[in-house]
């Protein structure tokens, strides 16, 4: 992405373009309160035109994955559509593998948006194949919202692209390299079809972050040589497997605690920060990673509860990613950049990024040369505005390929930590290691990919002996 592309296509403040937070203590609602691409020709062009929604036609939504992220995504879609005043939008189908999630989400959405929620019982689909039934309720020009656990994301995205649907999909995007390649193949097909795809990296639509990134690109801190990204806060907690429970269902109900369901918290949560750091490097992706990590507490499912990853870029620049989830430890959720002429705060916190640029490496008040002193826009809404405007006006907009590459960069860091090896980009991209190989045929009768030990806890990867490359 060059600077012109940035200014022409990314800004929610500039002319062209006017979920739930996982941090404990900051709900999605709390954040909202605090926060105040390829086109085709020939046959492909024809397909794109079929997918273009006229300005006043109703865009229908199907929600696949009815947990808090999915419910929040629908709320954001409705809010963005109202702000744009660009035509009606309606939720017409819902799908999940758990009945209570459908019912809770439906009740909350229907109570808040009665006129925009039209999902009778015969369009509320339950089961591992429910995603197909929900998307079959849509037509080209409509939007499939994919917000299940990310082990299912490549499968669901693939089907949406086959159907010719526009897509909004939440992060993360795959749990292992084969799944990531499947997603990237679907991304390429979505580009050929001219589909519009928004992804859950909403920070790229934050006015505050856009401004500091633009200034860094313009040389405000010189050549960027070091980036530091942090997500260190309270723990992931997995209860003991209840006696007689369906173990697969148990693991799916505690998704972030199991690497095979969401990739683990380093993938599912820290991918935001990795993507933002690579954005600062003008979408340069790291060429290798080495890492350390481990588990101090068994309550983290089969995850490590801390990771420290050193990424190296082709120009020699370094990205250090720190991710830890433990009680009674120092906490922050923030990102920083260091260059040959100064340094920058990219994000001070999730709810209030407050980016700043300093004339030295001392990040102290007397060193500030610029700071973003306005309220940030709501990036959850802005990402939907960009997607909806692209559909209404038939503008190119497809974030799927970039999302898949950012996901791979994050996977590379996890691979390095779990194996204890230095992992290259090529090794990460080409790895045939699968956390789960039968996702297309999964049912509640499928044996879980990992089983609890006699004491009810789960084994974590063992560096030096674990193979993930």
Counting Cβ atoms within 10 Å, is residue 114 exposed (0-12), middle (13-18) or buried (19+)? exposed
pLDDT of residue 52: 54
Of the listed ranges 63-77, 185-199, 419-433, 444-458, the least confidently predicted one is 444-458
Using alpha carbons, list the distances in angstroms from residue 81 to 18, 55, 75, 294, 311: 14, 12, 10, 44, 39
Indicate yes or no: pTM above 0.75.
Answer: yes
The pLDDT tens digits for 325-369 are 999 999 999 999 999 999 999 999 998 999 999 999 999 999 999
pLDDT band at 445 (very low <50, low <70, confident <90, very high): very high
DSSP 80-121: HHHHHT-S-EEEEEEEES-HHHHHHHHHHHHHH-GGGB---G
pLDDT of residue 151: 98
State the average pLDDT over residues 74-83: 97
Residue 246 in tokens: 């369906």
Nearest of 147, 149, 171, 172 to residue 160 by alpha carbon? 147
State the average pLDDT over residues 229-257: 94
Residues of the chain with pLDDT > 70, as a percent, come to 88
Residues of the chain with pLDDT > 90, as a percent, come to 84
pLDDT of residue 44: 39
State the average pLDDT over residues 6-27: 33
The pLDDT tens digits for 32-66 are 334 333 333 333 333 444 445 555 699 999 999 99
Mean residue pLDDT across the chain:
90
Question: In this structure, are residues 11 and 210 in contact, taking their beta carbons and an 8 Å threshold?
Answer: yes
pLDDT of residue 37: 33
State the average pLDDT over residues 144-149: 98
Query: For residues 373 and 370, what is the distance between their CA atoms, to the nearest angstrom?
Result: 9
Query: For residues 361 and 341, what is the distance between their CA atoms, to the nearest angstrom?
Result: 8
Sheet holding 59-64, edge to edge: 124-126, 89-96, 59-64, 143-146, 166-169, 197-199
Residue 143 in tokens: 């939007």
State the average pLDDT over residues 449-457: 91
pLDDT of residue 56: 65
State the average pLDDT over residues 281-310: 95
Higher pLDDT, 91 or 31: 91
The pLDDT tens digits for 386-396 are 999 999 999 99
pLDDT band at 313 (very low <50, low <70, confident <90, very high): very high
Query: For residues 428 and 412, what is the distance between their CA atoms, to the nearest angstrom?
Result: 5
pLDDT band at 83 (very low <50, low <70, confident <90, very high): very high
Of the listed ranges 1-5, 215-219, 270-274, 358-362, the least confidently predicted one is 1-5
Q: Is the pLDDT of residue 22 over 80?
A: no
Q: Is the pLDDT of residue 208 over 60?
A: yes
pLDDT of residue 236: 85
Task: Tell me the H-state helices in 218-360.
Answer: 247-253, 259-262, 265-268, 271-280
pLDDT of residue 80: 97
pLDDT band at 283 (very low <50, low <70, confident <90, very high): very high
The pLDDT tens digits for 85-136 are 879 999 999 999 999 999 999 999 999 999 999 999 999 999 999 999 999 9
pLDDT of residue 282: 96
pLDDT band at 455 (very low <50, low <70, confident <90, very high): confident
pLDDT band at 23 (very low <50, low <70, confident <90, very high): very low
């Amino acid at each position: 992405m060059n600077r012109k592309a940035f200014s022409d296509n990314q800004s929610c403040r500039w002319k062209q373009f006017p979920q739930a937070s996982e941090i404990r203590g900051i709900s999605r609602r709390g954040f909202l309160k605090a926060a105040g691409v390829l086109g085709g020709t020939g046959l492909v062009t024809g397909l794109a035109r079929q997918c273009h929604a006229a300005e006043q036609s109703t865009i229908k939504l199907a929600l696949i994955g009815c947990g808090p992220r999915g419910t929040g995504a629908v709320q954001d879609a409705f809010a963005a559509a109202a702000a744009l005043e660009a035509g009606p939008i309606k939720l017409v189908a819902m799908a999940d593998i758990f009945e209570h999630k459908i019912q809770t989400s439906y009740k909350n959405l229907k109570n808040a948006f009665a006129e925009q929620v039209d999902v009778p019982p015969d369009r509320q689909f339950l089961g591992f194949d429910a995603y197909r039934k929900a998307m079959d309720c849509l037509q080209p020009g409509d939007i499939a919202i994919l917000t299940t656990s990310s082990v299912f994301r490549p499968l669901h995205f693939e089907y949406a692209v086959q159907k010719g649907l526009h897509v909004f999909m939440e992060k993360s995007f795959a749990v292992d390299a084969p799944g990531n390649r499947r997603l990237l193949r679907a991304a390429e097909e979505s580009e050929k079809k001219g589909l519009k795809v928004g992804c859950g990296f909403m920070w790229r639509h934050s006015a505050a972050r856009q401004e500091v990134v633009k200034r860094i690109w313009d040389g405000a801190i010189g050549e960027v040589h070091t980036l530091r990204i942090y997500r260190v806060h309270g723990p992931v907690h997995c209860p003991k497997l209840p006696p007689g429970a369906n173990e697969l269902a148990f693991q799916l109900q505690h998704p972030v605690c199991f690497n095979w369901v969401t990739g683990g918290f380093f993938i599912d949560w820290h991918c935001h920060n990795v993507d933002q750091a690579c954005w600062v490097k003008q979408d340069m992706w790291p060429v290798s990673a080495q890492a350390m990590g481990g588990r101090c507490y068994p309550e983290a499912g089969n995850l490590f509860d801390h990771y420290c990853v050193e990424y190296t870029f082709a120009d020699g620049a370094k990205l250090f990613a720190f991710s830890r989830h433990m009680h009674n430890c120092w906490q922050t959720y923030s990102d920083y950049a260091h260059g040959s002429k100064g340094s920058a705060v990219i994000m001070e916190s999730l709810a209030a990024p407050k980016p700043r640029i300093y004339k030295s490496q001392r990040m102290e008040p007397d060193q500030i040369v610029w700071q973003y002193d306005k309220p940030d826009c709501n990036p959850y809404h802005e990402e939907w505005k960009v997607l909806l405007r692209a559909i209404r006006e038939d503008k190119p907009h497809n974030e799927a390929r970039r999302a898949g590459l950012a996901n791979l960069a994050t996977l590379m860091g996890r691979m390095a930590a779990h194996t204890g090896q230095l992992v290259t980009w090529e090794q990460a991209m080409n790895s045939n290691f699968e956390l789960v190989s039968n996702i297309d045929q999964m049912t509640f009768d499928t044996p879980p990919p990992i089983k609890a030990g006699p004491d009810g806890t789960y084994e974590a990867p063992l560096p030096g002996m674990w193979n993930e490359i």
